[in-house]
Structure 1
Amino acid sequence: MRLVDWVRNRQSPTKWVILCKAVLKKQFTIMLRYRVNFAINIVTMYVLFAIVFFGGQAAVSQAGGSFNSLDSTLNGLIVGWFLWTMSQGAYSGLASNVTQESEWGTLEQLFMSPFGFGGVMWVKAIVNLVQSTVVGGIMLLLMMVTTGRILTVDLVTIGPILVLTIFTIIGFGFAFGGLALIYKRVQSVSNIMQFAMVGLISAPVADISWLRALPLVQGSGMLQASMRRGVRLWEFAPPKLVVLVVTAIVYPLVGYVIFSYCSSVARRRGVMGHY
């Protein structure tokens, strides 16, 4: 499409705001309508954390040690679990959205949107990030109450770090969303990513510096420094900020390229609206 045509056909910022509000309303309406399922997801994630926390307490006590000696490790566990909770919802949301739209028979309608299918999916990705932030905030509060630990929650610092960090994993969300367009159900493959994220969040960047280029890794380290030691955003070394920003741009773009290619394949095969 020529630049002139793109300018003529592009939507005004006001219309994009309306789209964002509509998708946000739909997402939270579904969440509230199926609130039992939402509550069970929260409880499941909390129970898993409680098992790790109280199980660790019991193991240390039986070994004759003091659980207070694991203060640093426990704080790191809370921050890592908080990031894992948000990342899981953000990356799996797009594939789930595609699967749901296919089941409802509304997927092809998204292609007829004046915003384009890609534009709608970008908005869905952002809304999934907002929803994941709500879930992550609830989990963080529950974990701090359970453990009695108070971490530094400087929104000016952790807000940008979280957004940029989650954007690195959104690229995988686009990739899995593209696979869902063709193969419809990719939950089994998607679930593997949950275990991979644990490794990325806990990656030893101090020993292997190139790991910082992987998704979640750089942001996880900066989030740990901010919430555990109170490091402010402007106190981080410029190279760390550069790596965080670059990965937050590259991975979503690569994921979107894969998503666009899968969309083309699904249309050629005539399986876009099939389930």
Structure 2
Amino acid sequence: MSAPTADASVDTGARGYLRFFAASLRKRVLLMVRYPVNFFSTIANMLILFAAVFYGGRAIAPAAISNTIEGIIVGYLLWTLSMSAFSGLSWNVTRESQWGTLEQLFMSPFGFGRVMFAKTVTNVLVSFFTGSLVLLFMMAITGRWLAIDPLTLLPLGLLAVAPAVGIGFALGGLAIRFKRVENLFQIMQFVFIGLIAAPVAQYPLLKWLPLAQGSQLLQTAMRDGVALWALPTGELAVLVVTAVGYLGLGYAAFAYCQRWARREGVMGHY
């Protein structure tokens, strides 16, 4: 399949790409508004799962839950954000393959990679909105109100979620090449739990794993009220390196799988 050629009437520069991104975001918001049952059902699933964990844990081990509830809240928030960022990209590629419309995306004048990146950023922004609603609910039912500083939480949250986006790109690439990899998506939700709960304080090398350092710093910021500029510079550097590194590796794997699928002639097959 030949590379797409840009139409002379289409602005493929930064301004045109920003318009495309704005249109993607507007489309996502309109889908939320026009299909409210689906939107609120998604949030309800998150809330019910947390309520089951909280009330079930309090019934079985009330002291343990009481001592760790702040970490549970932050960890669950990061897990929901990561799963949304990860699964949005992976499932999008899978659905496009199933519908037979994947090749049409490659004909975009912006290029397939940039199209998927815009969709991913849109999905992350929406997930932050839904995550804020879930966070308020979790703090309300537990009675534990954590420190909420947008100037601290937004940068930390974006950097913390970036490795999950990278993993989503990598598995999205596998979906392009191998098509049916849905079971692998299901496995990743349990892998994310382990990464978020990694004991970074006891085993410092674990901070280089995806999500682990972001979880640690988010807990410090939200539980102890530490501002972004008060966090150790070295710890922030690790967060930035892991965020950029895993995101870059995931995107590189995504691009490689595209070329692999083209060489094998399976881009449009399912």
Q: TM-score, normalised by structure 2?
A: 0.91
What residue identity is the alignment partner of 1:59?
I
> Larger deviation: 51-60 or 231-240?
51-60
Q: Answer yes or no: is the 8 Å Cα contact 1:110–1:117 preserved in 2.
A: yes
**Unaligned residue ranges in structure 1 (runs of 5+):** 1-8, 62-66
> 1:268, CA displacement in angstroms?
2.1
- 3-state DSSP of counterpart to 1:14: helix
Is 2:171 the counterpart of 1:170?
Answer: no
Q: Answer yes or no: is the 8 Å Cα contact 1:225–1:231 preserved in 2.
A: yes
What residue identity is the alignment partner of 1:45?
M
Q: Which residue in 2 is equivalent to 1:36?
A: 37
> 1:171, CA displacement in angstroms?
0.8
**Unaligned residue ranges in structure 2 (runs of 5+):** 1-9
Question: Aligned equivalents of 2:174 and 2:37: distance in 1?
Answer: 29
> 1:114, CA displacement in angstroms?
1.5
Q: Answer yes or no: is the 8 Å Cα contact 1:226–1:232 preserved in 2.
A: yes
> 1:178, CA displacement in angstroms?
0.5
Distance 1:181 1:32, change over 3 A: farther
> Larger deviation: 241-250 or 94-103?
94-103
Q: Which residue in 2 is equivalent to 1:247?
A: 242
> 1:78, CA displacement in angstroms?
0.7
Out of 182, 194, 200, the position equivalent to 1:199 is: 194
Deviations 1:144-180 (A, max 9, x none): 1211221111000011000011111111000110011
Q: Which residue in 1 is equivalent to 2:184?
A: 189
Q: Answer yes or no: is the 8 Å Cα contact 1:95–1:180 preserved in 2.
A: yes
Question: Aligned equivalents of 2:163 and 2:205: distance in 1?
Answer: 16
Percent of aligned pairs with the same amino acid: 49
Distance 1:268 1:103, change over 3 A: same
What residue identity is the alignment partner of 2:12?
Q
Q: Which residue in 2 is equivalent to 1:4?
A: none
Q: Which residue in 2 is equivalent to 1:79?
A: 74
Q: Answer yes or no: is the 8 Å Cα contact 1:218–1:243 preserved in 2.
A: yes
Q: Which residue in 2 is equivalent to 1:226?
A: 221
How many residue pairs get aligned? The number is: 261
Question: Aligned equivalents of 2:152 and 2:261: distance in 1?
Answer: 41
Pairs within 5 Å for 1:63-142: 67=63, 70-142=65-137
Question: Aligned equivalents of 2:21 and 2:101: distance in 1?
Answer: 18
> 1:16, CA displacement in angstroms?
1.3
Q: Answer yes or no: is the 8 Å Cα contact 1:85–1:135 preserved in 2.
A: no
Following superposition, which runs of at least 4 residues in structure 1 exceed 6 angstroms of deviation? none
Q: Answer yes or no: is the 8 Å Cα contact 1:95–1:174 preserved in 2.
A: yes
> Larger deviation: 126-135 or 229-238?
126-135
Question: Aligned equivalents of 2:207 and 2:51: distance in 1?
Answer: 30
> Larger deviation: 141-150 or 27-36?
27-36
Q: Which residue in 2 is equivalent to 1:16?
A: 17
Pairs within 5 Å for 1:150-169: 150-169=145-164
Two-structure CA RMSD over aligned residues (Å): 1.8
What residue identity is the alignment partner of 1:14?
R
